[in-house]
Structure 1
Amino acid sequence: MKPSAAPFRQFVLKVASRCDLACDHCYVYEHADQSWRGRPVVMSDETIAWSARRIAEHAGRHGLPEVHVVLHGGEPLLAGRERLARVADELRGALDGVCAMDLRVHTNGVLLDEEFCALFAEHGIKVGVSLDGDRVANDRHRRYANGRSSYDKVIRAVELLRRHPELYAGLLCTVDVANDPVAVYEALAELDPPHIDFLLPHATWDRPPPGLGAYGDWLIKIFDRWMTDGRPVSVRTFDSVLRIRDNRSSLTESLGPQPSDLVVIETDGSYEQVDSLKTAYDGAPATGMGVRDHCLDEVARHPGFGDRRSGTAGLSAQCRACPVVETCGGGLYTHRYRTGSAFDNPSVYCADLLRLITHVDEAVSGLAPHAFRAADIAALAAGYGEGGAIVALEGVQRSLRRALLGRVGAVATSPEAWRLLTLVDQESPDALNAVLAHPYVRVWAVLCLTGDADDAHLSAIAVTAALRAGIETSLRVPVRDGALHLPGLGRLDVGPVDTVTVTTGDGWFAADAGGRVRRVDLGAAERVRPVPGWSPVRRLVLGDLSVALDDVDPYRDCHEWPVADRLGEAELERWSGLLRDAWTLIVRDHPAYAPALAAGLTTIIPLVPRDDGRQISSAARQAFGAVAVAAPSDAVTLALLLIHEFQHVKLGAVLDMLDLYDAADTSFYYAPWRDDPRPLEGLLQGTYAHVAVADFWRVRRVLDEGAAARKAAIQFAHWRSQTAQALKTLNDSGALTETGRKFADAMTASVGRWLDEPVSPGAEDEARRRAEAHRETWARSAPLRG
């Protein structure tokens, strides 16, 4: 018989098909394939003998120097000591003189005792144990059918293996993002395992895992701790990423493009593909062949194995275009399944793998990812922050935006758009970063992932990135409300069509709407030869400050107040004058805020003014770099609003990087600037913003004259005391983390210095009256708030 081109080297023998635990995340019993119900409880003597014979026959035919065999289940120890000894004897007898064998057993550990250990020592069997972390983490899933904990018995088993280190193969942990990653890592590492294997829970696009999108960050927290600890234990996932970077083979089938060389033999002797395929659909791992009638070379020619042996060529088009495909390898084959397209998809964990691999690559390349100087954190906590601190925050945002884009791309309906984005990233990553830096790209991505927007905008992002990179390409782009929207560049009205074909070149693009083609030349050319229906984003450059006045982006309407439509020339001129005067005032009178604004404020969204003349402004949590403002009557007010709202922008980015409070806190608190009670993050955001408000009026009371100075003194007296009170509320909440307390302490130090600054008795009295009146009104409305 003609040998197969790619022999099997790993064999999983299902020696028992039942289990003594009832783990609710088990792929054998809890997922689509239920074939275990019709299989023998244990592997028969005849099946054992045939399995050993087929493995030896295959190894000899292919001249394999060694094979790896894992005794598995269900729970393999339920097969009993005598049967396990028979399996070991049959395998070693058949392979004697053919090749070496690495023999292991994978167990949940609850039955492991000294007699089993003696058996394993006699037959050279190493033992791997499943354990998901500390007691809380492990017992979240690994319990008996009656709900009893398995933890104590598993720990007893591991301690037994620690006394027999020659048998101890390592620990296998199924990831649950509900568990604390560092606590899980510490609990496992304390048990001195030779290896730890963190396993993503088996899932598909039809049945995604809970918390999808959080697995990459969960593993990153462990990776960072593992690196800090000096890599004290082998972690298979991390080691595999590092080995692939060094052009070595992966240690796991879940990573890398290497072909699969594993086959499963069930208790009835049937051959199966990797058994995680039981997650995909009923019968997914079946081959229709068995040890009595078929040799392993016949099994190797089964189409299911062929799909998994073609390397990157067998991956989806989206995977092949990905910059980390040689490391990721498309992820585990099972995790790519989706009804309709079978396995021709990226892994359901695509975005998580991209995030993890990118982070590991940055870390080991000596680029301390998102390194943040203590001085920068201290300056931000005090209420200010130099440009360098904002640049560091932007680095965090860039990674978040890329991770979000990867998650959208993993499920995108336009693989052409994703391929174009990966091409731009390979040829001109700065161009892609420039497009992703537009604040409302992240707003769209979050809406898309929560089901509140579709992924059509991905095509517009792709052609905008290609345009910025000067790449010549053509792509169909969906139309929204009769217009083509290119984020950060502008809007082209195209009429009542569903899509347009956009062609890009160096500094120009053309849109074909059903045969009507319009070309737009960007830069100075679009001002000299304006194209009907083209509304470019206008940019105002004032010394160190360069901001887009964006009145066309379709996702800018995410603020508390309505956004303004396209500004006319007179309105644009008024905005230009106001912003020029406000920036001059900030640089001259409030210079502590200017560097951060110049480095981080990229976009202003004009709002519709209120009919009652009340001034309004806003910052959106997902829109780093942008503030929304209704044009005020004077530059002093605009300067205050810019400083105030950019405080929210800064703190939002800090919260993306640092945990300042316990997210589980559900209490609501009094905030002196609001008529409604606020959650802890809302109180923290408002307090941080009003540190700057108090500081602004502190300066204005000295620089202004007459009525303006008196107004500023009252405002300063009011907001310094109210911000100090809010800081006390934060500290008394008991919900700040240690980092959060330090952050609040720095704010308190800033405000505390101002409490001793003199103001007139009249200003103090008026400030006190305002505070009391607000508190009384708030208290009276409490019953109405429920």
Structure 2
Amino acid sequence: MTTRIPLPFSQFVVKVHSRCDLACDHCYVYEHADTSWRTRPKVIGDEVLAKAAERIGAHAATHRLPAVRVVLHGGEPLLAGPDRLRLVAEALRAALPPGCALDLRIHTNGVLLGRAFCELFAELDIKVGISLDGDKAANDRHRRFADGRSSHPQVLRAVALLREPAYRRLFAGLLCTIDVENDPVAVYRALAELQPPAVDFLLPHATWDDPPKRPSGAGASPYADWLLTVHDLWEADGRPFAARTFESVHRTRRGFTSLTESLGLEPSDLVVLETDGTFEQVDSLKTAFDGAPATGFDVFAHSLDDVARHPGIAARQSGLAGLSATCRSCPVVRTCGGGLYAHRYRGDDGGGGFDNPSVYCGDLMTLINGIAARSGPVAVPAQAAAPVVPAALTPAQVDELARGYGSADTVAALTRSQLALTRAMLAAAWDASGQGRAEAWSVLSALDGAAPAAVDAVLAHPYARAWAARCLAGDLGTGLGPLAALAAAAAVRAGRGDAVAVPVRGGWLHLPTLGRIAVPDGEAVVTGAADGFTVRASDGTVHTALDEPLRRIRLAGGWTVALEDLDPLRDSHDHAVSDRLSDTELLDWAGALREAWELLGRDLPRYAEGIRAGLATVTPLRPGPAGRDVSSAARQAFGAVGIARPATAPTLALLLTHEFQHVKLGAVLDLMDLYDRNDDTLYFAPWRPDPRPLEGLLQGTYAHLAVTEYWGTRTLAYDGLPGEAADRARREFALWRRYTAEAIERLAESGSLTGTGVRFADGMRATVAPWLAVPLPAAAEQAAARARQERAMV
């Protein structure tokens, strides 16, 4: 039993050819400790390929993966030939379940890359990464043919092809292995001149048994010095390409995830398939000892879930708990992450295997501190150390969300990504607790394999992630009791007889997604059974029923929403939460929700579809001051909104739509950066008197797209009709369409939007444009102008 929920694989390296046409003397496949390549077939066979595609497809379906990344590798994968590569791509794509996207890539030395291959890759949508160590002198130091000839001219021709307009979208970037004897300035300039979209600067593989070269007179940390020189040039040039090493240091210092396995504490979700059908751990382990990456598993006899439970895989997924004592006490551990797993190996007597700091420990410390000194202090957000899952959206879905909408399929993709993030955050919170192995975690881990639907149902509860976020931010006031409660709720749902001890405080045992039971403080043991459950309280009494179940309201069309008035962690919103609703209050809520849902389905169908797919929980809030509606979306509680029940059902419909916009955009921001997070400028939103950070302006603008459409739809419904309700709709519509349009332009002019952020601004502009063209009476425009002036004077 591992101490974490097994993490499904979402990245696969598939070896399509096991030999190479170059003889690079720093190659870990052929020149380091592992010799397994000698006995493997040169090309992946039809049976291996078919079974591998089947395994990957089944794994994606079992774990409901929104996307998988497959890298075609070798040896040199182009040696497999175009027909074999086509077969591989088509087999993989055909095996994936509906809704699971394939991100297919190939890593090549570029020697054989010609126009025919590029045409094939354009047809099959295969991105291409090329190994290039810099200028000719740098590249020729290691990357030569067996007869000593330079490979540099051929690689430059390959890069030139990928830079052509027809193939530019295929160019994934360059991989540069560092040699400290190469001039870092010359290397950087040579690579930057090629205008790659990204460059990965890779430390040469080494271990404590076979350490990296350190030329005399080069100083104590030559690799850090080399990288810092390149970093400074990269910064001075305005970061002309993505550089995962540097960006990962910047991101992890701000509490976000690393972009590379060689830094940070994120668990690895990658596995390698060799040409003979055997599964291996990461390729870099070939540098440790002969057979180091082996798992003993193959595609014919083992599923990918079997591979995920391999001890070596688990060791690379154990975060802080899997590091040496030296690393755990290091001040930069959350950025360094102990370095690449293979680089920790020491095999001599008492060497500890992988239980060591990286052989590059000093260099990593110097690099991280050097970048920190250049960047200055940073604020760590509440989601610090919370791993972010890979992008889960298709381009069409991104465009749909950019317009402010979100179909059921699109919001379901966001929901899946959020569930994966919750799992990763719970694992990180567990690691950070330092409390080792425990019954609750073991039960949750076992149930994740035996009854995954039960675990998913509990982990999808919005306040499970909210608790993990608090822990990762350093708030351990609740201890690990909420984790035990999650495990107990999963055990009850699974009904297999699993037992979990749960701490009880305040006289209530709360089971997330189920309800609560009145028991004395202390420790209660919850046991799931096929026909229910039992709870043995600290005073010896046994309970077999919930005293206060979580209540759900079924709405038209089969949508069911929970009214969460029990969970002690529901106070994640900016407003006070309501106590347990009385029966009368429950009936009032049910009636208001049914009316609001009917209105949404009729008047705002493009928003309603996503709300139905993603909004599972409404948390009642206490009423605000008289005449003020109160609502909230908690950034770390996907799937929930907090609302104080308003006076009318139409207002409830508006609040639901408004807050779910925040929920959607929060999930998008977990997947992709829409703006430069280093921008600390404060921006004025037209509807607020106080300046806001850029994310606040973005969130408000996105929410007010829905507000604009709400009032616009009501205005059209009142077309030509008199009355106060009609006049109010016109005034509000005039006000909010102008506010929203101005805010979109303010975002666009900030200069801090990423490419995807610009895409969102363009999408929002396209959505609001038709509403700006709707004619309104002069009285409505004048009333809106007065309201704007009054608000500006507040």
**TM-score for both structures, normalised by structure 1:** 0.58
2:776 & 2:262 partners in 1: Cα distance? 51
Structure 1 residues 246, 761: CA separation in 2 closer, same or farther (over 3 Å shift)?
A: same
> Pick from 508, 531, 535: which aligns with 1:511?
535
Distance change in 2, residues 1:251/1:394 (3 Å): closer
Taking a change above 3 Å as real, the CA distance of residues 632 and 518 of structure 1, as seen in their structure-2 partners, is farther
State yes or no: 1:631 paired with 2:652: no
The residue number in structure 1 matching 2:690 is 676
Q: Which residue of 1 aligns with 2:726?
A: 709
Contact 1:260-1:309 at 8 Å conserved across structures: no
The alpha carbon displacement at 1:516 in A equals 3.1
Q: Per the alignment, do residues 730 and 370 of structure 1 end up closer, same or farther by CA in structure 2, a change over 3 Å counting?
A: closer
Deviation at 1:543, TM superposition (A): 2.1
Would the alpha carbon gap of residues 310 and 436 (structure 1) be closer, same or farther in structure 2, given more than 3 Å must change?
closer
Give the corresponding residue for 1:330: 315
**Does the alignment pair 1:484 with 2:509?**
yes
Which residue does the alignment assign to 2:260?
218
Please tell me whether residue 500 in structure 1 is matched to residue 533 in structure 2: no
Going from structure 1 to structure 2, the CA distance change for 1:411 and 1:680 (only over 3 Å counts) comes to closer
Q: Does 1:766 align with 2:783?
A: yes
Q: Indicate the residue corresponding to 1:650 in structure 2.
A: 664
Structure 1 residues 406 and 150: alpha-carbon distance in aligned structure 2, compared to 1, 3 A threshold: farther
Task: Report the alpha carbon displacement of residue 494 of structure 1 after superposing the two structures with TM.
Answer: 1.7
Figure out how many residues of one structure are paired with residues of the other and give that number.
533
> The residue matched to 2:393 in structure 1 has which SS?
coil
In structure 1, C-alpha distance between the alignment counterparts of 2:420 and 2:276, rounded to whole Å: 20
Q: Determine the structure 2 residue equivalent to 1:443.
A: 466
The CA distance in 1 between the partners of 2:326 and 2:652, in whole Å, is 54
Larger radius of gyration: 1
Q: What does residue 376 of structure 1 align with?
A: 397
In structure 2, do the counterparts of structure 1 residues 540 and 326 end up closer, same or farther at CA, with 3 Å as the change threshold? same
Kept after mapping to 1: 8 A contact 2:392/2:671: no
In structure 1, distance between residues paired with 2:563 and 2:340: 35
* CA shift for structure 1 position 215: 5.9
Retained in 2: the 8 A contact 1:255–1:327?
no
Which residue among 773, 778, 793 is the counterpart of 1:756?
A: 773
Pairing partner for 2:593 from 574, 579, 588: 579
SS at match of 2:517: strand
Cα 1:487–1:212 change in 2 (3 A) is farther
Q: Which amino acid is 1:445 matched to? A: A
Range 609-618 or range 564-573, more displaced: 609-618
Residue identity in the other structure for 1:378 = D
Call closer, same or farther: CA 1:424–1:349 in 2, change over 3 Å.
Answer: farther
* 1:394 aligned residue: 415
Q: Which residue in the other structure is 2:429 paired with?
A: 408
CA distance in 2, matches of 1:581, 1:477: 39
Deviations 1:38-91, CA, capped at 9 Å, x for gaps:
xxxxxxxxxxxxxxxxxxxxxxxxxxxx9959xxxxxxxxxxxxxxxxxxxxxx
1:520 paired to 2:544: yes
Q: Which amino acid aligns with 1:482?
A: G
Whole-Å separation in 1 of the counterparts to 2:276 and 2:531: 37
Whole-Å separation in 1 of the counterparts to 2:571 and 2:471:
15
Match of 1:471 among 496, 518, 538: 496
Distance in 1, Cα, partners of 2:245 & 2:740: 46
Contact 1:323/1:422 (<8 A) preserved: no
Q: Counterparts of 1:36-51 in structure 2 under 5 Å?
A: none
Q: Which residue of 1 aligns with 2:549?
A: 536
- Listed as ranges, the matches of 1:189-208 within 5 Å are none
Preserved CA contact (<8 Å) 2:412 2:614? yes
Q: Distance in 1 between matches of 2:597 and 2:270?
A: 51
Offset, 1:566:
0.5
Provide the secondary structure at the position in 1 that maps to 2:409. helix
Q: Deviations over 1:714-734 (max 9, x none)?
A: 000000011111111111111
Conservation of the 8 A alpha-carbon contact between 2:263 and 2:338: no
Check 1:669–1:238 CA distance in 2 against 1; reply closer, same or farther (3 A cut): closer
Name the counterpart of 2:609.
595
Give the superposition deviation at 1:459: 1.0
Give yes or no for contact 1:255–1:329 (8 Å, CA) kept in 2. Answer: no
Deviations 1:397-425 (A, max 9, x none): 12211211221233453522121111111
Q: What's the CA shift string for 1:552-608, capped at 9, x where partnerless?
A: 111110111100011110110110111111111111222222211111110000000
- What is the alpha-carbon distance in structure 2 between the residues aligned to residue 420 and residue 518 of structure 1? 21
Partner of 2:184: 151
One-letter amino acid of the structure 2 residue matched with residue 748 of structure 1 = R
Q: CA 1:756–1:117 in structure 2 vs 1: closer, same or farther (change >3 Å)?
A: closer
- Structure 2 counterpart of 1:663: 677
Residue 381 of structure 1 and its aligned partner are, at CA, apart by: 1.6
Distance 1:351 1:468 in 2: 40
Q: Distance in 1 between matches of 2:394 and 2:728?
A: 38
Using the alignment, how far apart are the partners of 2:470 and 2:737 within structure 1?
Answer: 37
Q: Does the Cα contact within 8 Å between 2:321 and 2:431 map onto a contact in 1? A: no
Partner residue of 1:98? none
What residue in structure 1 maps to residue 635 of structure 2? 621
Q: Among the aligned pairs, what percent are the same residue?
A: 40
Structure 1 residue 709, shift from structure 2 partner: 0.8
Contact 1:216 1:352 in 2 (8 A): no
- Distance in 2, Cα, partners of 1:477 & 1:646: 33
2:278 to 247, 251, 255: 247
Q: 462, 465, 481: which is aligned to 1:456?
A: 481
Q: What is the DSSP-based 3-state SS (H/G/I as helix, E as strand, rest coil) of the residue aligned with 2:544? A: strand
Distance 1:391 1:198 in 2: 32
1:448·1:455 contact (CA, 8 Å) conserved in 2? no
What is the distance in 2 between the residues matched to 1:260 and 1:215?
A: 32
- Could you list the per-position Cα deviations for residues 749-777 of structure 1 after superposition, in whole angstroms to 9, with x for gaps in the alignment? 11111111111111000101111221232
Does the aligned pair in 1 maintain the 2:400–2:406 contact within 8 Å?
A: yes
Partner of 2:700: 686
1:55-66 equivalences in 2 (<5 Å): none
**CA 1:709–1:329 in structure 2 vs 1: closer, same or farther (change >3 Å)?**
closer
TM-superposed CA distance for 1:393, in Å, is 0.9
Aligned pair in 2 of structure 1 residues 592, 502: CA closer, same or farther (>3 Å)? same
Tell me the secondary structure at the aligned position of residue 592 of structure 1: helix
CA distance in 2, matches of 1:67, 1:669: 54
What displacement does 1:437 show?
0.7
User: Could you tell me which amino acid in structure 1 is paired with residue 543 of structure 2?
Assistant: R
1:627 offset after TM fit, Å? Answer: 0.6
CA–CA separation in structure 2 for the residues paired with 1:341 and 1:715: 56
Counterpart in the other structure of 1:775: 792
Asked whether the 8 Å contact 1:539–1:547 carries over to 2, the reply is yes
Distance change (3 Å), C-alpha of 1:198 and 1:558: closer
**RMSD value over aligned CA atoms?**
5.3
